[in-house]
Amino acid sequence: MEPDAAAAGLSELVGCPVTISGAASLGAQRSTLFVDLERSTGVESAVAQISTGAVETRPVTAEAALLELVGRHGVPVPTVYAATDELPGIGLPAMILSRARGRTIPRHILRALPDRDAGDNLARQCGAALAALHAIPTTEAPPAFEEVSPTRFVELQTERLELLARPRPAIRYGLRWLADNEPAPVDSTIVHGDLRNGNIVVDDDGLVAVLDWEVAQRSDPMQDLAWLCLRTWRFGADDRPVGGFGAIDALVDGYETAGGTFRQRAFDWWTAARCAWWAIGLAAQALAFTTGRTDAIMLAASGRRVPELEFDLLDHIRRIDH
């Protein structure tokens, strides 16, 4: 994608001159760019997300509508300035958002915390943000956000597993265990699906904003809490289960104080479920490299993480069953 073409398309989208000042991240699905908007009142810093051409799970305009909805209900998110499913001159989905000030790189977040109390406070803030999200009536969500029950989740992961080139017996065992041990049914809520250390903005006072809503869905709310606590997102700080910065008790306290209902059995089930989900996802990323569908070294490196997720999956099931 040519920077000049992207800047021209973004300028037309937002209705003022846009200058691209740098790249925040270049993901498999979207490129996130730092941009400056030259408004009549002055230059404003913002963020633009442009699809890489990969298949989007839903229209970007639906995601923008969801961001506006959850923001009205008190979830800390960036403001949407403009969104389109076909950026002028580019033809790809794109969105322009306000730039939340703070730290986003996980290890920077962890190093900046002055003590364990500050980490627990951040965990409570994450719990409160999730409680606010889960309290929003699902009827208000755009229809593009699908329903994913535990049964449907296992079906989808089984289908994904069959697409891998190599057998993964540990994951297959995990999926069978999940199918045999589904949690009690519960009303679905809006679920972020990827709230973790790496998709939050943090400053010296704590949580500033929740980013990256691409995989949002309607599902069991415990899916969000479980994903935040996976070992993958602790970055070596395994004594602090919530993102490497906080205690689970602090997360649950923030969640319940803000009106959420914590369910331990469902939390345990979704912890195993998301271990399986991420193991399959990492294996698929590595397969894309080895089959020549991408030359991204980051995706090639994903393959080495698969055994870690398989170990976590089996170890978690062992702990539950014993």
Contact yes or no for 261/253 (Cβ under 8 A): no
Contact yes or no for 188/149 (Cβ under 8 A): yes
What distance in Å separates the CA atoms of residue 39 and residue 305, rounded to the nearest whole number? 45
Give the model confidence (pLDDT) of 120-143 as tens digits: 999 999 999 999 999 999 999 998
* CATH fold of the domain at 3-98: Phosphorylase Kinase; domain 1 (3.30.200)
* SS3 track for 115-184: CHHHHHHHHHHHHHHHHHHHCCCHHHCCCCCCEECHHHHHHHHHHHHHCCCCCCHHHHHHHHHHHHCCCC
Residues, the chain: 322
Q: Which CATH architecture has domain 106-321?
A: Alpha-Beta Complex (3.90)
Whole-structure pTM value: 0.94
**Domains of the chain: which residue ranges?**
3-98, 106-321
Q: What percent of the chain has pLDDT over 90?
A: 84
Give the model confidence (pLDDT) of 36-64 as tens digits: 999 999 999 999 999 877 667 789 999 99
Confidence band, pLDDT 50/70/90 cuts, at residue 106? very high
Sequence-distant (≥ 6) Cβ neighbours of residue 61 within 8 angstroms? 83, 84, 85
The residue among 178, 246, 192, 179 whose CA lies nearest residue 222 is: 192
The residue among 253, 246, 264, 250 whose CA lies nearest residue 200 is: 246
pLDDT exceeds 80 at position 147: yes
